[in-house]
Amino acid sequence: DQQVKQNSPSLSVQEGRISILNCDYTNSMFDYFLWYKKYPAEGPTFLISISSIKDKNEDGRFTVFLNKSAKHLSLHIVPSQPGDSAVYFCAASPPNAGGTSYGKLTFGQGTILTVHP
Amino acid sequence: NAGVTQTPKFRVLKTGQSMTLLCAQDMNHEYMYWYRQDPGMGLRLIHYSVGEGTTAKGEVPDGYNVSRLKKQNFLLGLESAAPSQTSVYFCASSPHRGRKEKLFFGSGTQLSVL
């Protein structure tokens, strides 16, 4: 049972336009969400995160939105650049009370983003 | 600044062979993890460690063993490899302080079991 789902395997966007990557989750106990970016032949790198007490977090061109009632989060990249072409994974973490989550993450399947010049 | 280093980068095994994947981090991180990535499945946690001398099972631990004898190293062992263990393996680490979910990943090991 996939608790974190990215239903779009791929997304193609023109340079300068907005890229919107979506992620849905089923476990209401998740309380911290992250996006990782992965280039070919490299490991994933942390991009941006959001706590369940917020509905939006911005970092430069990247904004993550969280809709808890819909169990949905999205990553907006504005403006998109060719260097943003990569696989994007969303991930979720259970409550970190007492450190018991230990950083264990549940990942989505990933979305391949291609930004065309 | 090496970060998280995985060796080897590629390996081909025959069914039933054994091997050990090595992960080393130079960031003095307490927590270390082994994930596997399969097409259409995302990354799944195999085993993790919250400190030197400790290990725990993750989501898909069967067929794997791990050891954390030194804080900087986390070894993943396959005692009798099976074709279902063909995958890309990622090691990761995170510091004790702050959000532990912000993982630092190695570049991966591509393992094929024939």
| A82 close to A117: Cβ distance less than 8 angstroms | yes
B108 interfacial to chain A (CB closer than 8 Å): yes
Contacts with A2 from chain B: Cβ below 8 Å: 42
Residue A4's contacts (CB-CB under 8 Å, 6 or more residues apart) are A23, A24, A25, A26, A30, A90, A91, A92, A106, A107, A108, B42
The distance of A109 to chain B (nearest Cα, Å) reads 4
Please give the average pLDDT of every successive group of 10 residues along chain A, which has 117 residues. 91 98 94 94 95 93 97 98 98 70 85 97
pLDDT digits (tens, 9 = 90+) for B68-87: 999 999 999 999 999 999 99
Pick from B35, B100, B107: CB nearest A102: B100
| B105 close to B18: Cβ distance less than 8 angstroms | no
B106 interfacial to chain A (CB closer than 8 Å): yes
pLDDT of A66:
97
Question: Is B45's CB within 8 Å of A104's CB?
Answer: yes
| B64 close to B47: Cβ distance less than 8 angstroms | yes
Both tokens of residue B35? 């994930």
How far apart CA B44 and CA B57 sit, in angstroms, is 12
Q: Which of B82, B38, B44 is nearest to A104 (CA)?
A: B44
Question: Is B101's CB within 8 Å of A107's CB?
Answer: no
pLDDT of B114:
96
B50 interfacial to chain A (CB closer than 8 Å): yes
How far apart CA B35 and CA B76 sit, in angstroms, is 10
pLDDT of B1:
65
pLDDT of B41:
85
Residues of chain B short of pLDDT 50, as ranges, are none
How far apart CA B85 and CA A106 sit, in angstroms, is 19
Helices (H), chain A: none
Q: Which of B38, B19, B9, B21 is nearest to B80 (CA)?
A: B19
B58 interfacial to chain A (CB closer than 8 Å): yes
How far apart CA B9 and CA B28 sit, in angstroms, is 23
Pick from A45, A102, A110: CB nearest B50: A102
Closest chain B residue by Cα to residue A88: B42
pLDDT of B77:
97
B32 interfacial to chain A (CB closer than 8 Å): no
In B1-114, beta strands by DSSP E: 4-7, 10-13, 19-25, 31-38, 42-49, 56-57, 64-67, 73-78, 87-94, 104-105, 109-113
Beta bridge partners of B29: none
Centroid of chain to Cα B49:
10
